[in-house]
Structure 1
């Protein structure tokens, strides 16, 4: 019993050490272009994505399409993936679609 407790404590301590050694991932944002048809409407937007969708443009496309598709929008292009430092310069261009989805 004492051996199990020691093992569990060692396991918890090592997991905690690993968790603290890796800093939390920074926020991830993407700017994109989308459209709706009949009549044709276009928009440029900025969206915050989970870490799991920030690794590649393909992962970002999938996450964005799922969110904007609920309101009938079709993703045209992922323009860039960036951190919080790029938000201010894109806010006015995105207008109503700034962090909307």
Structure 2
């Protein structure tokens, strides 16, 4: 019975998450001297589509521009891109 439940759960997990679906995050970042804030949207690989993994990726990428990650807000798929485009401005898929 335990073995059967394991395979049912495994089956549901495998087929409930698309293999190569796009993953996007929106985040907030800051810069000091002079103090600046920005809101951005970034694509991450599907293997990094958890909040903790995405935070590491986003932090490394924006660090190149002198930014410090304040936090990842949400993870979403392509369906959420357009409604975030205007708010992110020049930081829409920049990094």
TM-score (norm 1): 0.74
Q: CA deviation at 1:72?
A: 0.6
How many Å separate the matches in 2 of 1:23 and 1:53?
14
- Determine the structure 1 residue equivalent to 2:46: 51
How many Å separate the matches in 1 of 2:36 and 2:18?
41
Pairing 1:83–2:66 present: no
Deviations 1:61-98 (A, max 9, x none): 00000100011100001100000000000000000000
- Determine the structure 2 residue equivalent to 1:38: 33
How many residues are treated as equivalent by the alignment? 79
- Superposition misfits of 4+ residues, deviation over 4 angstroms: none
**Please, which runs of 5 or more residues in structure 2 have no aligned partner?**
1-16
